[in-house]
């Protein structure tokens, strides 16, 4: 937890604490006290963490938190929006590919490692198609 708290403190110090405090609606000194990992009397709330991430776009605290639990923070690539009808048809085609890969794998009542890889590849394609659909809905 210490690494997470120190990364929050470093984020505040490295991103113009006075301006950040104003954006967060906090007094400058209060933000510094709350972010100080050695000050047990004051702590950042989850709302503070969220607004800190939002205004700084500095995600090292989030990465440190993820790392503490055995995860790695990886920013996902933005999908390119398409015409909504095209995006939904593409998504359905990808989901159909997943269904076909699973059905083919189950035809002999056992799933080989090669079939698992194929299913995983098709699932990845379906996720990407869902991302395109989501981006398309946002701009529709």
Tell whether 78 is covered by a domain: no
**For the chain, what is the domain count?**
2
Q: Which domain holds residue 129?
A: 84-139
Tell whether 21 is covered by a domain: yes
20 pLDDT band, cuts 50/70/90, is very high
Secondary structure of 1-57 as H, E, C letters: CHHHHHHHHHHHHHCCHHHHHHHHCCCHHHHHHHHCCCCCCCCCCHHHHHHHHHHHC
What lies within 8 Å, CB to CB, of 67 at 6+ separation is 3, 73
Domain boundary residue, one of 28, 44, 68: 68
Report long-range pairs for 43-47 (Cβ below 8 Å, ≥24 apart). 44/8
- 21-47 confidence digits (pLDDT tens): 999 999 999 999 999 999 988 899 999
Question: What angle do helix axes 2-14 and 17-24 make, rounded to 10 degrees?
Answer: 100
Q: For residues 59 and 107, state if they share a domain.
A: no
- Tokens for 79? 């999908």
Tell whether 127 is covered by a domain: yes
- Separation of first and last alpha carbons in the chain: 42
Q: For residues 7 and 56, state if they share a domain.
A: yes
- 9-19 confidence digits (pLDDT tens): 999 999 999 99
Q: For residues 63 and 109, state if they share a domain.
A: no
Q: For residues 106 and 53, state if they share a domain.
A: no
């Amino acid at each position: 937890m210490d690494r997470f708290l120190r990364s929050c403190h470093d984020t505040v110090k490295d991103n113009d604490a006075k301006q950040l405090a104003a954006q967060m609606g906090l007094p400058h000194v209060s933000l510094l006290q709350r972010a100080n990992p050695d000050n047990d009397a004051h702590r950042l709330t989850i709302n503070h963490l969220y607004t800190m991430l939002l205004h700084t776009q500095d995600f090292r605290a989030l990465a440190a938190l993820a790392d503490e639990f055995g995860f790695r923070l990886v920013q996902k690539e933005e999908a390119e929006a398409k015409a909504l009808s095209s995006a939904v048809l593409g998504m359905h085609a990808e989901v159909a590919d997943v269904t076909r890969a699973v059905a083919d794998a189950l035809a002999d009542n056992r799933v080989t490692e090669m079939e698992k890889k194929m299913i995983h590849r098709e699932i990845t394609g379906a996720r990407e198609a869902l991302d395109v659909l989501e981006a398309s809905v946002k701009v529709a």
